[in-house]
Amino acid sequence: MRFRFITLLIIFGFPLLHGCKNVSKDIVTVQGSFANLPDTRLYLYQILPASKPLIDSVNTDTKGNFSISFPVKNSACFSFRRNAEDEITLVILPGEHILLKGNGISLLDSYIVTGSANSALYADYSHFTTANLNKVDSLSRIFADSRNRSDFQEIKTGLDSAYLQIFNHQKEKVISFVTKHPNSLASLLVISSDFGPNPLLSDHSNPDLFLQLDSTLIRSFPENSLVTTFHLRMLDFKAEMGDMELHDKLLKPGMPAPEISLPDAMGENTKLSSLKGKLTLIYFWSSWDAKSRQANMNLTSLYSRHHDKGFEIFAVSIDSDTDLWKKAFRLDKAYWIQVNDAKGLGSDYSKTYGVRALPRMILVGKDGKIIFNNADFGELEGLVKNNL
């Protein structure tokens, strides 16, 4: 009988054990220890393209320890949070056993993750971002404390320059991260991230980076909803790029500048064609774009030197919030022709002029024909002098 029992166990028990293994390999366990966070409810959300549903929750014990398990069939991204201001992003593969440590005073600033390589990659980016945002907060405090000083404008110029340096450093981090880790879902989160209210990268500003990431991720994670949504977006972008090539042909030097007619700060429509007879810089910008704000300061001196000689700036803001637009150009003392296109980058004017990144500058001659398409500030001084 004993021999028969062992035989039956081998015959029938092995498939049973094998089946259990198949089930358990999808289970992810997250264990953690958060100092200064006793008896606290923590919430687990899944990050999806258009929503963030609650998956589960867990309480820490009196010492801040916890453990939670949940199934993950395919690679996915999750948000593990105490509240909306203090959350940890996890990029999880099926079957991972993840360990979290941190200080409950600020989980975002202090957390360390092991057992999940992609989550650890994202943690590095998250800490880098938090450090830079803290630097920006310091600049904001200096700005607020200096508003009544006689040298405020000089201080503001220095603060703007410091912010731009931090912003560009953050942008370089994104490019480096995605370039080094194109096969990680963490890169999809990073390439789509903002810095405070400001976007860092876009498919228009860095098309090769976006398209390469799409190509890699769709092969590796074809069932992930974040990846498939990104892939559909890139398919639309490729079609849009084909349209842009046609628009670029309309913007070659010697071609007439397409008409623009938009409301100014008083709500009165102003036409680009009304400036015929003047050397005109068409300048697309936005209040939320750091490079545009820096360009405003640079253009102020150029404008003051050449305006009396027949140089004009026709600035098209793509801000949806007209109040922010008005405050920005007044604060920057950008007192040239200002109009607003509240439809933003999706407007017909932005598409006609191929606005893929900000700021965008097109120099138009006195005869209304394009002299230079997509000028940068370094080239602008010489172009203006040579064509007045």
Look at residue 11 and tell me whether its pLDDT is greater than 60.
no
The pLDDT confidence band at residue 24, using thresholds 50, 70 and 90, is low
User: The domain that contains 320 carries what CATH number?
Assistant: 3.40.30.10
Mean pLDDT, range 290-304, rounded to an integer = 91
Q: Which residue has the higher pLDDT, 280 or 320?
A: 280
Whether residue 334 is contained in a domain is answered as: yes
Whether residue 17 is contained in a domain is answered as: no
pLDDT score, position 4: 44
Whether residue 246 is contained in a domain is answered as: yes
Q: Are residues 277 and 180 in the same domain?
A: no
The number of folded domains in the chain is: 3
Whether residue 31 is contained in a domain is answered as: yes
Residue 1 to residue 22: CA distance in whole angstroms: 31
Q: Are residues 104 and 133 in the same domain?
A: no
* Domain limit, last residue, from 231, 250, 269: 250
Q: Which residues pair with 35 in a beta bridge?
A: 103
What six digits make up the tokens of 133?
A: 């945002």
pLDDT digits (tens, 9 = 90+) for 96-122: 999 999 999 999 999 999 999 999 999
Whether 99 and 111 have beta carbons less than 8 Å apart is answered as no
Domain range for 283 is 261-387
Whether 217 and 229 have beta carbons less than 8 Å apart is answered as no
pLDDT score, position 20: 45
Question: Cα 180–357–333 angle (5° rounding)?
Answer: 125
Q: Are residues 172 and 234 in the same domain?
A: yes
Q: Are residues 225 and 299 in the same domain?
A: no
Q: Are residues 193 and 229 in the same domain?
A: yes
Q: Are residues 187 and 287 in the same domain?
A: no
pLDDT digits (tens, 9 = 90+) for 77-96: 999 999 888 999 999 999 99
Residue 192 to residue 10: CA distance in whole angstroms: 52
Mean pLDDT, range 313-329, rounded to an integer = 94
Q: Are residues 85 and 132 in the same domain?
A: no
227-234 contact pairs (CB < 8 A, 24+): 227/185, 227/188, 229/49, 230/188, 230/192, 233/203, 234/203, 234/210
Q: Are residues 146 and 83 in the same domain?
A: no
Whether residue 4 is contained in a domain is answered as: no
Q: Are residues 222 and 314 in the same domain?
A: no
Nearest to 231, CA basis, from 248, 245, 211, 261: 211
Whether residue 8 is contained in a domain is answered as: no
Classify residue 218 by burial, with Cβ atoms within 10 Å: 0-12, 13-18, 19+.
middle
Determine the length of the chain.
388
pLDDT digits (tens, 9 = 90+) for 330-358: 999 999 999 999 998 888 999 889 887 88
* Domain limit, last residue, from 216, 250, 284: 250
Q: Which residue has the higher pLDDT, 196 or 368?
A: 368
On the CB side of 262, CA atoms within 13 Å amount to: 26
Residue 88 to residue 75: CA distance in whole angstroms: 17
Residue 215 to residue 377: CA distance in whole angstroms: 34
